Copies of this chain bind each other. A is one copy, B any other.
């Protein structure tokens, strides 16, 4: 009687691992279960810690991304975790596993991408590990960030009556991935824009810093595994339900054209596509307008109300063409076939 991990899925596995992780719980403010762990830091500040592993042919392929793009994105996905907590990224350590036949040029370009993303966000590379990995390139980055004690945002603090907000637009990254993996004829400028969206995400650090200045923001998550999955995570962590206004979800420019070419629905891209690295926020209803205005004014990034938090017994629903339907499952889940 032995189970395979595919039968548990990524999230089942994480739940199984969690028990007994804290031996000195007093030293930890938030452990496993949010975008970053939260520890005490110097007075007035919290230390944020997050880690992400990228494996060749799972998270990226050398056929569809340049070494520069792989490096850039490896940092960006970590920065997004700090943005989710409303923090400021600080330092990273990078472990990299490379096949012995890798070329020095490849490594140089990879690090140029890594360093470019670091420069954009004022991040220092303070250490790492460089090892042989004969069968696949593996990149692991751990990021440290900080946030003022009163500004940190968790997944678990959404309340019924809150509104659901998203920054920017959704679905573009998944559409870009389709264009990379299975190129089909499309306006070249549009195609490039969407591919860039997938390969060079822009973590919303500044947007979160602006929003967290405004009283009334209650919870946050970054949209890495798809909007539906992230709403599910916030709802589970906060013990609430959610009603999502399907027609109000901001779709990435060109998403309808791509969806038509690939015979998909734009809403599927936006709900389940993943890797947009936008932020999902919840806020008290009276704060929504001001948050949107301020983020738009300072950063130029639109913020859209896409739903509301409801009591847990109402579950997760999508308001679609006037009907409330259960939020379909979907989104990226490692190990789940």
Q: Known: A58-B132, A136-B136. Is A144-B49 also a contact (CB below 8 A)?
A: yes
Stretch at the interface among A91-99, A173-181, A228-236, A283-291: A91-99
Q: Are B136 and A95 in contact (CB under 8 A)?
A: no
- Cα of A22 to Cα of B90 in the assembled complex, Å: 11
Among A111, A125, A134, A337, the most chain B Cβ lie within 10 Å of the Cβ of: A125
Please state if B140 and A51 are interface contacts (CB–CB under 8 Å): yes
Q: Is the interface of A mostly helix, strand, loop or mixed?
A: mixed
Contact with B along A49-89 (1 / 0, CB 8 A): 11111110111000000000000000000000000000000
A104 touches B5 (CB 8 A): yes
Q: Please name the residue on chain B nearest to A12 by beta carbon.
A: B104
Q: How far is the CB of A213 from chain B (nearest CB, A)?
A: 23
Q: Is the CB of A53 within 8 A of B127?
A: no
Is A2 close to B, CB under 8 A? Answer: yes
Tell me if A115 and B57 are in contact (CB < 8 A).
Answer: no
User: Inside 8 A of A94's CB, which chain B residues have their CB?
Assistant: 51
Do B2 and A108 touch across chains, with their CB atoms under 8 A apart? Answer: no
Chain B residues in 8 Å Cβ range of A134: 57-58, 136
A186 on interface, CB distance cutoff 8 Å: no
Q: In the complex, what residue of chain B is closest to A50 when comparing beta carbons?
A: B127
Mask of A6-24 contacts with B, CB within 8 angstroms, 1/0: 1110100110110011111
CA distance A104 to B25 in the complex (A): 26
Q: Which residues on B sit within 8 Å (CB–CB) of A96? A: 53
Interface check A214, CB cutoff 8 A: no
CB distance from A59 to the nearest CB of B (A): 7
A107 proximal to B (CB < 8 A): yes
Complex A-B, nearest 6 residue pairs according to Cβ-Cβ distance, in ascending order: A37-B126, A53-B95, A135-B135, A142-B142, A21-B125, A140-B140
